[in-house]
Amino acid sequence: MTETSTQHKNAGPDLTYQQYLQKDTLALPKCIECSKLHFYPRIVCPHCGSFNLEWKILSGKGEVYSTTTIRRKPERGGNYNVCLVTLDEGPRMMSRVDGIAAEDVEIGDKLIARIINNDGDCHVIFTPLQEV
């Protein structure tokens, strides 16, 4: 599904991104000229330099491209992971995987996005995709 950028014409790309997340929707800018999506949202396509963008709603599915475990003492919250996730639609974004131990996250793991809303400040995390 694609929506034109005029839907959020009074907002910059970072605010538009947050507005989608607040609606529990993962969407990113797609260049009309070169057809590539990009993350992090910006007003110009980083691939071809075009300003002709639209917003595309994404599936939220992806796979771990790289991962690392940040080690912390249990009293400081314990270990967590930081990973790069390649979305099925192409862009790669940095996030984390919840739902499994940080050390168990592996390159190639299939994931699904989850949007966390902390009093209006939204961000995307991933959980393992349970394929049926």
77-111 pLDDT, tens per residue? 899 999 999 999 999 999 999 999 999 999 999 99
Domain assignment of residue 29, given as a range: 2-57
Same domain, 68 and 97: yes
Residue 10 is predicted with a pLDDT of 61
Residue 4 is predicted with a pLDDT of 44
Same domain, 85 and 98: yes
In terms of Cβ atoms closer than 10 Å to its own Cβ (0-12, 13-18, 19+), residue 36 is middle
Number of domains in the chain: 2
Q: Would you say 114 and 85 are in contact if contact means Cβ atoms under 8 Å apart?
A: no
Cα–Cα dist 83/132, whole Å = 25
Mean pLDDT of 111-128: 93
Going by C-beta distance under 8 Å and a sequence separation of 6 or more, which residues neighbour residue 1? 56, 57
Same domain, 106 and 124: yes
Cα–Cα dist 120/86, whole Å = 26
Cα–Cα dist 132/120, whole Å = 33
CATH number of the structural domain spanning residue 118: 2.40.50
2-53 pLDDT, tens per residue? 444 444 456 789 999 999 999 999 999 999 999 999 999 999 999 999 999 9
Give me the amino acid identity at 105: V
Going by C-beta distance under 8 Å and a sequence separation of 6 or more, which residues neighbour residue 14? 40, 41
Same domain, 75 and 105: yes
52-67 pLDDT, tens per residue? 999 999 999 999 999 9
Average pLDDT, the chain: 90
Same domain, 74 and 121: yes
Dihedral (CA of 87, 123, 115, 76) sign: positive
Residue 2 is predicted with a pLDDT of 45
